[in-house]
Amino acid sequence: MSTTTPPPDPHRRPQGMRLSLLTRWTALVATLVTVGILIAQGLSHVLPDRPLLVLGLCLLCVLPLAIITIRAQLDHMLSLFRALTGTVTSYQDGDFSFSLHWPQNDELRDLVDAHNALGDVLRHQRLELVQRELLLDTMVQNTPVAMLLVSGGGKGVASSGAVVYANIAARQLLDQGRKLEGQRLDTILARVSPALSEALARGGDGLFTTTGTGAGTGSGTGSGDEAEEEVYHLARRSFQLNGRRHELLLLRQLTMELRRQEVQTWKKVIRVISHELNNSLAPLTSLAHSGAELVRRGQTERLPHILATIEERTRHLETFILGYARFAKLPTPRLAMQHWTPFLAALGEQIVFRVTGALPPEPCAFDPAQLEQALLNLVRNAHESGSPPDQVTLEVRRQQDLVRIDVHDRGPGMSDTVLTNALVPFYSTKRSGTGLGLALAREIIEAHGGRITLSNRDGGGLTVTLMLRSV
């Protein structure tokens, strides 16, 4: 069986006897005392009647020897302490390349080993930090998102601060690849598209559109149909760095992504419309041919049924097209104060539902025609889900400065996938559905400054929740 030898440890102590500092200094003092005693004994035989003279001569011999010996030991220790001071100073300056050596196997050797180990750890950490910094800088410099770090004091940093950092995308977008660091942001904005300046002045995140070759152009080089619109997303974050307020600006071009999404949406719309038109026109063509054949034969008794079927399919097709037109041309809501009791009474004349709970006595500002259309779609969906008609309920209640409208049913509910996509335009699980009912309701509620959510109920069924501002 083979064995693996571990790599040598550069700081491993050499094998041998370990002598502590206390032991070595005790041995040194004992040696000097012994030497002094031996000298005193020798002199006492020569001068037996002169003890003070013997002591003086003994001290005269031993003291220089003691001073020289102790000085030699202390010089090594003092040089080590000076070296420790120098390496600590180097560590403070960020230089971790120094290491120390102490030949004795004692407590100072332990201190030197610990010091060298600390230097190794700091050296490796510094190397990792440098590598991470290089990696991060490479990623930031090569990202397609334009990044600007702006510094300044107080409010309005984005308009009056100086650029601290800008990546390649920012330099290409705002100044044709030239360096931006050190320039004031307001000076840069004076040379770029006014749309970017307006987006920064508005504050917060958002989209803006420029006409020309990008956000860094003033008014574009093209005119008329030659100038292309570019869509950008602006994100901004403020934070404190070294005691000063900084703001990070991120500019991301969304034109290609939006165009791809637009193409995909148009393809889906075309597929849905094509499918619905084929489902309606094919029977109409067949019925028209059958009617003409019956007229040719003189068998007119079936003509009223054929014409009624043609009328029904034509109205269905008209309703389908109007649904798309209504979704595409939803006007801005005309808000007016409305009381809930007469509004829901008028809605109940068009479709069956049951009101639960007490209605808020305070009026609410909304467009009655648009909200009625949204609730009609939701209640109709509840009936089409298979819920018993008496279990289709509508509840209106006030929550602080909001009004909450819940439409409940006891149908089968929705799966997680359907819940995620139910509000997406043209998404439908029905065989003949257009996918516009919930999408139109969402468009109406969001135009009112509210929001819509869907959730499954305990015991089965679905709840569609609309949140509106009360004023």
**Cβ atoms within 10 Å of 448's Cβ, excluding its own:** 21
Spatial separation of the C-alpha atoms in residues 358 and 311, rounded to whole Å: 43
Would you say the C-alpha torsion 354, 346, 380, 465 has a positive or negative sign?
negative
- Higher local confidence (pLDDT), 303 or 60: 303
User: Position of tokens 């974050």?
Assistant: 237
What local confidence, expressed as pLDDT, does residue 465 receive?
Answer: 92
pLDDT score of 17 more than 70: no
What is the 8-class DSSP label of residue 299?
-
pLDDT score of 364 more than 80: yes
Buried b (16+ CB within 10 A) or exposed e, 243-260: eebbbbbbbbbeeeeeee
What local confidence, expressed as pLDDT, does residue 141 receive?
Answer: 86
What local confidence, expressed as pLDDT, does residue 392 receive?
Answer: 92
Spatial separation of the C-alpha atoms in residues 255 and 209, rounded to whole Å: 9
- Higher local confidence (pLDDT), 290 or 320: 290
Poorest-pLDDT segment among 178-182, 320-324, 392-396: 320-324
- Higher local confidence (pLDDT), 80 or 57: 80
Residue 263 tokens read as 């193409």
In the chain, how many H helices and how many E strands? Answer: 13, 12
pLDDT score of 7 more than 50: no
What local confidence, expressed as pLDDT, does residue 407 receive?
Answer: 93
Poorest-pLDDT segment among 67-81, 107-121, 161-175, 257-271: 257-271
What are 452's strand-pairing partners?
466
What local confidence, expressed as pLDDT, does residue 343 receive?
Answer: 92
pLDDT score of 317 more than 70: yes
What local confidence, expressed as pLDDT, does residue 426 receive?
Answer: 57
Query: Would you tell me the crossing angle of helices 107-142 and 51-92 to the nearest 10 degrees?
Result: 10
Amino acid (one-letter) located at 71: R
Query: Would you tell me the crossing angle of helices 368-384 and 437-447 to the nearest 10 degrees?
Result: 150
**Of 138, 132, 184, residue with least CA distance to 158:** 184
What are 198-246's pLDDT values in tens digits? 877 777 777 788 775 556 554 444 444 445 678 888 888 888 877 788 8
Across the range 366-380, mean pLDDT stands at 89
Mapped onto helix, strand or coil, the DSSP state of residue 48 is coil
What local confidence, expressed as pLDDT, does residue 212 receive?
Answer: 57
What are 147-165's pLDDT values in tens digits? 888 886 444 445 568 888 8
Mapped onto helix, strand or coil, the DSSP state of residue 63 is helix
User: Over the chain, what is the mean pLDDT?
Assistant: 78
What are 364's strand-pairing partners?
338
pLDDT score of 408 more than 90: yes
What are 33-64's pLDDT values in tens digits? 787 777 777 777 777 777 777 677 777 777 77
pLDDT score of 436 more than 80: no
* Percent of the chain predicted with pLDDT > 70: 80
pLDDT score of 263 more than 80: no
What local confidence, expressed as pLDDT, does residue 220 receive?
Answer: 43
What local confidence, expressed as pLDDT, does residue 265 receive?
Answer: 67
pLDDT score of 469 more than 70: yes
What local confidence, expressed as pLDDT, does residue 5 receive?
Answer: 41
Spatial separation of the C-alpha atoms in residues 451 and 205, rounded to whole Å: 19
Mapped onto helix, strand or coil, the DSSP state of residue 179 is coil
What local confidence, expressed as pLDDT, does residue 325 receive?
Answer: 64
**Of 177, 176, 196, residue with least CA distance to 186:** 196
Across the range 78-82, mean pLDDT stands at 82
**Structure-derived torsion over alpha carbons of residues 153, 154, 156, 159, reported in degrees to the nearest 10:** -10
Would you say the C-alpha torsion 424, 430, 434, 436 has a positive or negative sign?
negative
How does residue 15 score in pLDDT terms, banded at 50, 70 and 90? very low
8 A C-beta contact, residue 367 and residue 335: yes
